[in-house]
Structure 1
């Protein structure tokens, strides 16, 4: 059931751009519901938010645990006028927007009070202050090296040729899952009593800004530069398990197609389209 909830609201830029919002008490998956609406004729841009998400999904069919007080949101985006080869780059748009929204939500005062240091010493490009938030290729957000958020991009072609994409955002706001095979964290460890509603307000605006820069894929070079500004592990060891192969080397960059570029010891370069990524000391142990 869709609810009218004044605590979840679109930011002013999102409202001005004609975005809309559906909030549900409970859903299996916000991505699934958004795509169902698209199949029923909804064109978007439309946000779907769930106060409780019972069957969240990550990449490659993995489960995403959403605890009370965390953000579970998906954005239905029309892509019929986007080159199909550019649709995957929406994932980088989402990452850039989420990093900006996190910085706005937390603010420099809370970062300093928490004594948090950036993972790799890069300063926040907008404030000149150190930021703990980093983008891990292809679809994670880290805070001081621990997983804070995951992104999930799905696309579908409907009868008649209409195409749509759904961008899912799962952010550990109030709490992070325990007993995971990797370190995880939440915004509550940075800011006292953070609210998923406030993060969503900023995120809804930042996705508008990033999407305009992206310009249906024609501006991906600009998005790529912003993504690299906040990337985790640039210039450090990386290990990528892709299929039955492990690619190891130095994380050099992402290319104009969004692929990971790995430089091996002999100077040769490999590009990776998808895979399980380990950075830094985890890469050498992988």
Structure 2
């Protein structure tokens, strides 16, 4: 079970401009915020952010370890979505936009920021943040965990990422801006709440449009590696289902899941 105490939630919420309807739980240490989300999900009355000041066993997509040096950001948002799974999965785009806005809020600028399909945020061409979505509660997924990791003060070494992956960077090294985990959590939660409200009210279309306007390498040649194939083509768009669309020598291909390499 995660160690630490919930920090002065009620008295701090107003001062921090915390979004209404979202719980806020900050832990001194935990193995993984996504694992803590699994343990707590059944006890929650509504959406809740779980943030760890120190995470000891984080993980990324496809079960890969997520290196988390001291001072970096680890948090998971637990939601109770009502849509079918294919729609629920589109919240990776909602989370990406929220991260983009949070970086803009703490730095006061957007230059150098870009979104990489399906769930990374880039800063000056390097990976500064990643997102992991996990359904909880068996078939139908009564809860959704949106795990977010951000290199606030230190980036993992090149030996800690897979060959060919983008270089990891930190917010501090690229911008000179130092923020604490809690200082980053507040604008992130506010931005997510705004984009989530838009998504629930108007569907994926405005989220897709906003994401594409911030997309990395749109119109350029990229490579998508699935579990069985490697596809290279021009990054044409993201379609209405969230698929990556590449224009290749074999024609237009929509790819639902892959790792992207530049």
TM-score (norm 2): 0.89
Question: Cα RMSD over matched residues?
Answer: 1.9
Cα distance change on mapping 1:78 and 1:23 into 2, 3 Å: same
Counterparts of 1:205 and 1:233, CA distance in 2: 28
Rounded to whole Å, the distance in 1 between the matches of 2:129 and 2:209 is: 21
Residue 53 of structure 1: SS of its match in structure 2? coil
Give yes or no for the alignment of 1:191 onto 2:191. Answer: no
* Cα distance, 1:196 vs structure 2: 2.4
Give the 3-state SS of the residue equivalent to 2:185 in structure 1.
Answer: helix
| Separation (CA, whole Å) in 1 of partners of 2:154 and 2:170 | 5
- Report the Cα offset of residue 194 of structure 1: 2.7
In 2, the alpha carbon distance for the partners of 1:219 and 1:255 equals: 13
CA contact (8 A) 1:252 1:263 kept: yes
Task: Tell me, in whole angstroms, the C-alpha distance in 2 between the residues paired with 1:186 and 1:260.
Answer: 27
CA distance in 1, matches of 2:178, 2:91: 31
State the 4+ residue runs in structure 1 displaced beyond 4 angstroms. none
Query: What is the SS of the residue equivalent to 2:260?
Result: strand
The reply on whether 1:20 has 2:3 as its aligned counterpart is: no
Say if 1:172 and 1:162 are closer, same or farther in 2 by CA, change over 3 A.
Answer: closer
Q: By how many angstroms is 1:183 displaced?
A: 0.8
1:83 to partner: Cα distance? 2.5
Separation of aligned partners in 2, 1:194 and 1:64: 20
Q: Residue in 1 aligned with 2:214? A: 230
Which of 42, 45, 50 aligns to 2:44? It is: 42
Query: Which residue of the partner structure matches residue 233 of structure 2?
Result: 249
The corresponding residue for 1:31 is: 34
How many Å separate the matches in 2 of 1:231 and 1:153?
20
1:212 corresponds to: 197
The Cα of 1:54 is off from its aligned counterpart by 0.7
Alpha-carbon separation, structure 1, partners of 2:6 and 2:17: 18
Deviations 1:149-206 (A, max 9, x none): 01001112359x6711010110000111113344111111213433222211100100
Match for residue 132 of structure 1?
112
Unaligned segments of structure 1, at least 5 residues: 109-123, 125-130, 280-286
Quote how far apart the aligned CAs of 1:42 are.
1.9
TM-score normalised by the chain length of structure 1: 0.82
Which of 121, 142, 146 matches 2:126?
146
Aligned residues: 250
Kept in 2, the 8 Å contact 1:250–1:263? The answer is yes
CA–CA distance in 2 between the matches of 1:85 and 1:18? 25
Whole-angstrom CA distance in 2 between matches of 1:59 and 1:43? 28
Q: Which has the higher contact order (CA 8 A, sep 6+)?
A: 1
**Partner deviation per Cα, 1:24-60 (whole Å, 9 max, x = no partner):** 111111011112111x332431111111111111000
